[in-house]
Structure 1
Amino acid sequence: MSEKDKFPMTLAIRELQAHNVSYTGHLFPYQEKGGTRHSSEQLGVDEHIVIKTLIMETEDKSPLIVLMHGDMQVSTKQLARELGVKTVSPCKPEVADRHSGYQVGGTSPFGTKRKMPVYMEKSIAELAQIYINGGKRGFLVSLSPQEVVRLLKPQYVTVGIAE
């Protein structure tokens, strides 16, 4: 049995494999409300390279994905300005689940149920490697941010603020 056979076969993993993305899976004990701090501690990596996948919406309820460093928050005011909309706010968990097809805490930007525009904090692209959700709680994949750019074609934004 190979390493990859031990990991959950999520829609995210299927998409990564379909596009020949080189990645490594990482399982860890999920903790409710643990967030990226918990996962970074479990995996022994800097929280800055653990990337959050956030499902947000504009004032007209149009959903979008924001990829942000684990140790930073999204300035929704700045994001709204950069997108040219009035407001951007996080979706309620049940709405986010419906858009993405994933459970909050296990949301991956890959293989989402609904195609949504992806916005990525620009400095993520400058990292050598990132850890991002693999589509299940307690499951991250590490890969090059360039693979994220290749697959998702995100628009770069500068909306991160220190926690």
Structure 2
Amino acid sequence: MTPAVNLLKKRKTAFQLHEYDHEPGSASYGLEAAEKLGLSPEEVFKTLVAELDSGQLVVAILPVDQQLNLKKLAKAAKAKKASLADPAKVERTTGYLLGGVSPLGQKKALPTFIHQSAEPLQQMNVSGGRRGLEIQLAPKDLLALTRGQLADLVS
């Protein structure tokens, strides 16, 4: 299993795993997951890693059909600027390959910001730590496990 799944089991957190056949040519991993699992894009969240002007990496979790607003992420993180992090740095820091970065079980715990649209949901889906694997869990559990904060992250 992935580090994300192992963390959920260790913490005795309720979750469900959803697997699907990932197609390597897919333009959007998140939208592919929503489509293949028959879920609304509002319930499936992507995990992006950004770098602040201080050099600190942070995690942004937002619906797969939305675009990250880097200015809003920087504001939430109390920084002046944010940019998407270098892919090699993301993989080194999280321990996950791009397209399968889970907000859970990362090698180094990073400050995490979850789009506020997750709050009213009963369940949300995030990457399980590899392409083709999604974890469904309660937003409150994801907030607790990541020590995350709710924030407005999209344009």
TM-score range normalised by the length of the shorter chain: over 0.9
Deviations 1:4-42 (A, max 9, x none): xxxxx1100110001111111111111343321111110
TM-score using structure 1 length: 0.89
Higher-strand-fraction structure: 1
Within 5 Å, give how 1:73-152 maps onto structure 2: 73-152=67-146
Q: C-alpha distance in 2, partners of 1:49/1:121?
A: 11
Residue 24 (str. 1) matches residue 16 (str. 2): yes
- Unpaired segments ≥5 residues, structure 1: 1-8
Compute the TM-score of the two structures, normalised by the length of structure 2: 0.93
User: Where does structure 1 differ by over 4 angstroms across 4 or more consecutive aligned residues?
Assistant: none
**CA–CA separation in structure 2 for the residues paired with 1:114 and 1:60:** 17
CA distance in 1, matches of 2:148, 2:87: 23
- In our comparison, the structure showing a higher alpha carbon Rg is 1
1:60-75 counterparts in 2 under 5 A?
Answer: 60-75=54-69
Q: Which runs of 5+ in 2 are unaligned?
A: none
| Structure number having the greater helix percentage | 1
1:154 to 143, 148, 152: 148
**Matched residue pairs, number?**
153
Question: Identity over the aligned pairs, expressed in percent?
Answer: 27
